[in-house]
Amino acid sequence: MSAAIEILMNGLFLGGLYALFGLGLSLIFGVMRIANIAHGELAIAGALALFTLSSGWPFSPLLLMPLVCAGAFVFGWLLQTQLLNRVLSPDPMPALLVTFGLSVVMQNAMVGLYGANSRSIDLGAVKTANLTIAGQTIGWLPLGIFLLSLSLFGGLHLVLRKTRLGRAVRATSDDAETVALFAIRRRRIFAIAMAVSAACAALAGMLLASRSSITPFSGAERLLIAFEVIVIGGLGSIWASYLGGIALALVHVVGFYFDPASGLLFGHLLLLVFLLIRPQGLAGKVVTR
């Protein structure tokens, strides 16, 4: 019984992190109808940047995370305004190929700079601290990551629902051609979406590297997880990504419990099942294409 509760808890906490990976991808997919193949590499680059910045830094690396997110925000903005806005067309292939090229360049550059070793970010005492509730031991770090991701989703929800910018983003997502008639510069909305998406990716990468470990090759795996999160959750609202993240993480944790060598296999199979029997995802109103 206690093992079952532990698996559920692990799945829930890991799901918060998965959801954060999916959030960035679903944001740009929702707004622009293209995917960023370099999403995973952005996450890993964020983690490696924090790794470099925090060496020699006397305080907790946690304090540097906002700085790296700001850097990723600027990077995402430049990526959209300088590269992707120039290849936008009804045909998604050019934009897809540009992000694909970027992902290969980033991955090889990171291998060149940091080597292929796996590393993790050392948060000191936070990493091992835990609390006990009703006989269950819960680590502060997984719980903190879960709550942080939940509050980020809440914050983004408020921005999208209550602000003028959020309205513009939602309108662009519904019909990017028509919003232009209402004096909304859609390229600017795209740039904001990509910047927020990159910041989310970098944050997710840093949290992943604090929870477990990463290598410069981990990007591809993260992209697939982010993609599976948005397909399983469905598009249409950011909470769909949250649901998708938790569902995928539960499948991974349960699969790992019964078959430690399975890796991401059961998550991949879950994706196929969803594509076959429920292509709109758990909560989505829009049919995935």
Shortest reach from residue 58's CB to another protein, in Å:
33
Choose the stretch contacting another protein; rule: CB under 8 A; options: 64-72, 135-143, 153-161, 257-265: 257-265
Beta carbon nearer to another protein, 164 or 289: 289
Phi and psi at residue 99, to the nearest 5°: -70, -30
Q: How would you classify residue 234: left for phi > 0, otherwise alpha for psi between -120 and 50, otherwise beta? A: left
Q: 136 - beta bridge partners?
A: 133
Binding residue (CB under 8 A) for another protein from 5, 93, 129, 147: 93
Beta carbon nearer to another protein, 86 or 285: 86
Which residues are CB-contacts of 183 (< 8 A; sequence separation ≥ 6)?
none
Any contact of residue 257 with another protein (CB under 8 A)?
no
Any contact of residue 83 with another protein (CB under 8 A)?
yes
The Cα angle at residue 99 between residues 252 and 78, in degrees rounded to 5? 115
Any contact of residue 154 with another protein (CB under 8 A)?
no
Any contact of residue 268 with another protein (CB under 8 A)?
yes
Choose the stretch contacting another protein; rule: CB under 8 A; options: 48-56, 82-90, 128-136, 148-156: 82-90
Any contact of residue 34 with another protein (CB under 8 A)?
yes
Choose the stretch contacting another protein; rule: CB under 8 A; options: 42-50, 65-73, 139-147, 272-280: 272-280
Any contact of residue 261 with another protein (CB under 8 A)?
yes
Q: How many CB atoms lie within 10 A of CB 109?
A: 13
Single-letter code of the amino acid located at 254: V
Cα–Cα distances in Å, from 90 out to 98, 130, 172, 195?
15, 51, 15, 22
Binding residue (CB under 8 A) for another protein from 6, 100, 114, 171: 100
Binding residue (CB under 8 A) for another protein from 52, 108, 178, 212: 108
Helices (H), the chain: 2-32, 39-54, 65-78, 93-114, 125-128, 140-162, 164-174, 176-179, 186-211, 219-233, 238-258, 265-277
Beta carbon nearer to another protein, 56 or 177: 177
Which residues are CB-contacts of 230 (< 8 A; sequence separation ≥ 6)?
22, 25, 26, 29, 240, 241, 244, 281
Residues in contact with another protein, shown as a per-residue x/- string from 211 to 250 under the rule CB under 8 A: ---------x--xx--xx--x-------------------
Any contact of residue 98 with another protein (CB under 8 A)?
yes
